[in-house]
Homo-oligomer: A and B are copies of this chain.
Amino acid sequence: MANCLVAQSGGPTTVINASLAGVVRANQLNPVYEHVYGGLNGIEGILQDRLYDLTNMSEYENRVLRQTPSSALGSCRYKLKRNDETDYRKLVEIMDKHDIEIMFYIGGNDSMDTVDALSQWAKANNVAKRFVGIPKTVDNDLMVIDHCPGFASGAKFANQVVNATWLDYHVYDKKRNEVFILETMGRDAGWLAGSTVVTGRVDLVILPEINFDKDVFLAQVKKCMDETGYCYVVTSEGAHYADGTYVAAGESKNDLFGHAVLGGAASVLKQMILDAGVASRVKVQDLSTAARSSNFAQSLVDVTEAFELGMSAHMRSADPTFTGMVVAHQRETIDGRYNAKFIASPAENFANYVKHVPVEWIKPNYEGLTQEFYDYITPLIQGEPTLIMENGIPATVVPYNMR
């Protein structure tokens, strides 16, 4: 009986470990593989032969793993080169050494591209190894899948913070003449920033899908302040001008993949408002990485689906032709309720495309989103898992790359 390998890559989320837990648990319910090895720090660690045996994880640890944020196996930003076989051959050597026939890779766009590249190469070179993708990303920008595991919990946390800070912001009277700006992650797609409209609290929302226009924005803030005395703004970190320059440009630089590392859009908007004399104070709240790691605000829908995607990937892999595929879910309505239907689709359909918020769901002049967008988000943030608490906070596992 051969073994399997599972690894995680890219930016973590609060439920990416639930998908890992799903793969491990599925193999306990039906031991298709003799060992389930975790690859530490993604492809990078695997190429250094850093594996951890997860086969006999206790049911208790499995439960705690599901409520542990970040990537318990560690992550990497290392991208396999498509035109250089060196890493491919090295990976197969490691897999052979441990009698591993299949690798499950949990990640975002770049990881799905890796699954595609590896499976294509294996087929073309008659290498009997299989590669399967399990999607995640707090940015919610993957194609095919209805929504990305990790996004809904990020959205639930963002909605909770927006509702709480909106109440905090409105505690003083209008004389304070203050604007509030909350910033969320979201480099290319505005799903997370947009999701906060579910609270019904947000006055203006800035998404990367719409080119930023300073004059229109300032006019809208002024109008809102004049009419109500308050203005609660949510901005995506990826807000940018028509020429592609990020609003936060002064503070950005590139990561190893050439993607801009952002953060700071809210601070730039703050200065803009103060300089224009539209308000005399601006308070900034940047959710930053807390939005993708807040396990105390997991959505029950999200964590359950992430676990089941891991299960599904393992279960489908019992078919020996299952490779180059990514598991996913699509939305359906049963008895008038949201339901996730599980599917699998070739990795090439996920890789290197970005799913934006449909522009027809975005109201003009930063005034929010349409009913279609509410209907899309609302079912995803329902329910709260019962957490195992330890010392007043959710119990978490010691990351496998730190044991």
Question: With A294-B160, A392-B299, A393-B160 in contact, do A70 and B168 touch (Cβ < 8 Å)?
Answer: yes
Q: Digit string of A60-81 for contact with B (CB within 8 Å is 1, else 0)?
A: 0000000011110011110000
Which residues of B have CB within 8 Å of A41?
Answer: 172-173
Judge whether A292 and B71 touch: CB under 8 Å. Answer: no
A83 adjacent to chain B (CB < 8 Å): no
A394 adjacent to chain B (CB < 8 Å): yes
Q: How far is the CA of A329 from the CA of B338 in the complex (A)?
A: 48
Question: With A41-B172, A296-B297 in contact, do A165 and B393 touch (Cβ < 8 Å)?
Answer: no
Which residues of B have CB within 8 Å of A295?
Answer: 160, 164
A218 adjacent to chain B (CB < 8 Å): no
Shortest Cβ distance from residue A10 to the other chain B in the assembled complex, whole angstroms: 10
Which residues of B have CB within 8 Å of A90?
Answer: none
Shortest Cβ distance from residue A382 to the other chain B in the assembled complex, whole angstroms: 5
Judge whether B171 and A12 touch: CB under 8 Å. Answer: yes
Q: Digit string of A18-32 for contact with B (CB within 8 Å is 1, else 0)?
A: 000000000000000
Judge whether B296 and A285 touch: CB under 8 Å. Answer: no
A161 adjacent to chain B (CB < 8 Å): yes
Shortest Cβ distance from residue A164 to the other chain B in the assembled complex, whole angstroms: 4
**Of B70, B160, B391, which contacts A171 at CB under 8 A?**
B70
Give residues 211-252 of A contacting B (CB, 8 Å).
none
Q: How far is the CA of A294 from the CA of B156 in the complex (A)?
A: 13
Give residues 349-403 of A contacting B (CB, 8 Å).
378, 381-384, 389, 391-394, 396, 399, 401-402
Question: Which of A12, A160, A292, A402 neighbours the largest number of chain B CB atoms within 10 Å of its CB?
Answer: A160
A89 adjacent to chain B (CB < 8 Å): no
Judge whether A164 and B285 touch: CB under 8 Å. Answer: no
**Of B167, B378, B393, B399, which contacts A391 at CB under 8 A?**
B378
Which residues of B have CB within 8 Å of A56?
Answer: none
Judge whether A168 and B289 touch: CB under 8 Å. Answer: yes
Question: With A71-B171, A293-B168, A296-B164 in contact, do A156 and B392 touch (Cβ < 8 Å)?
Answer: yes
A288 adjacent to chain B (CB < 8 Å): yes
Query: Besides the contacts A70-B164, A70-B167, A165-B289, what 19 more A-B pairs have beta carbons closer than 8 Å?
Result: A69-B168, A70-B168, A70-B170, A74-B173, A156-B393, A160-B294, A160-B295, A160-B393, A163-B396, A167-B293, A168-B289, A168-B292, A168-B293, A171-B399, A198-B392, A283-B289, A285-B286, A296-B296, A378-B392
A interface residue numbers (CB < 8 A to B):
12, 14, 41, 44-45, 68-71, 74-77, 156, 159-161, 163-165, 167-173, 198-199, 283-286, 288-290, 292-297, 299, 378, 381-384, 389, 391-394, 396, 399, 401-402
